[in-house]
């Protein structure tokens, strides 16, 4: 996913992340769940922005950001993201119906079926890709650690450059 940061679908999906984080911060400041509508809207708009695989890291990073602030806001973020999936059903149900009648084209491939690809989202490759593994991956635990470090100060996340440096 990191190699796709200039992909228009990824950029338009991640553009909704600050609104989600603003909703989490406002919910904590006001001690109310009412601002979580921003998380619902941002999550649904990220999902529908055009590149659905970018929704997974968006959702995980948003939940980690909320859980780093308080466990209650982490649960509220999970619930808001679940509600946003119901909102996205407005587009997904007709698309699923249309997909049922499409014909398979081999040039697009069947998708990733290797479980090792998904393991790398949680476990890093400490050998530096010297194992016979050709998968490009995003190690989400490092993102979670960086979000945790940046949320120790009060207020919104202001130094996002620290978040993306290795």
Is 62 inside a domain boundary? yes
- Could you list the residue range(s) of the whole structural domain that residue 22 is in? 2-159
Asked whether residue 43 carries a pLDDT value surpassing 80, the answer given is: yes
**Pair 53, 27: CB distance under 8 Å:** no
What is the structure's pLDDT at 91?
85
Q: For residues 29 and 125, which has the higher predicted lDDT (pLDDT)?
A: 29
Question: Residue 131: inside a domain, yes or no?
Answer: yes
Domain total in the chain: 1
164 located within any domain: no
Which one-letter DSSP state was computed for residue 76? H
Higher-scoring residue by pLDDT: 150, 95: 95
**146 domain residue, yes or no:** yes
Q: What is the mean pLDDT of the chain?
A: 75
Residue 115 lies in a domain: yes
Query: Angle at which helices 17-30 and 37-47 pack, to 10 degrees?
Result: 170
**Residue with the two structure tokens 């119906």:** 97
Give the tokens for residue 100: 């049922």
State residue 78's pLDDT score: 95
Nearest to residue 66, comparing CAs of 58, 56, 76?
Answer: 76
Q: Confirm whether 165 is domain-assigned.
A: no
- Predicted structure pTM score: 0.61
| 66, part of any domain | yes
154 in a structural domain? yes
For residue 95, what pLDDT is reported?
82
């Amino acid at each position: 996913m990191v190699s796709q940061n200039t992909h228009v679908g990824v950029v338009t999906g991640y553009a909704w992340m600050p609104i989600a984080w603003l909703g989490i911060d406002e919910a904590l400041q006001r001690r109310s769940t009412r601002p979580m509508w921003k998380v619902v809207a941002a999550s649904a708009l990220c999902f529908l922005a055009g590149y659905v695989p970018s929704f997974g890291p968006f959702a995980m990073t948003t939940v980690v950001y909320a859980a780093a602030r308080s466990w209650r806001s982490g649960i509220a973020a999970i619930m808001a993201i679940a509600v946003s999936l119901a909102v996205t059903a407005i587009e997904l149900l007709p698309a699923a119906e249309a997909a049922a009648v499409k014909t398979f084209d081999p040039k697009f491939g069947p998708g990733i079926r290797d479980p090792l690809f998904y393991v790398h989202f949680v476990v890093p490759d400490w050998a530096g890709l010297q194992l016979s593994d050709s998968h490009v991956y995003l190690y989400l635990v490092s993102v979670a650690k960086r979000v945790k470090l940046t949320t120790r100060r009060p207020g919104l996340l202001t130094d996002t450059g620290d978040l993306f440096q290795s």
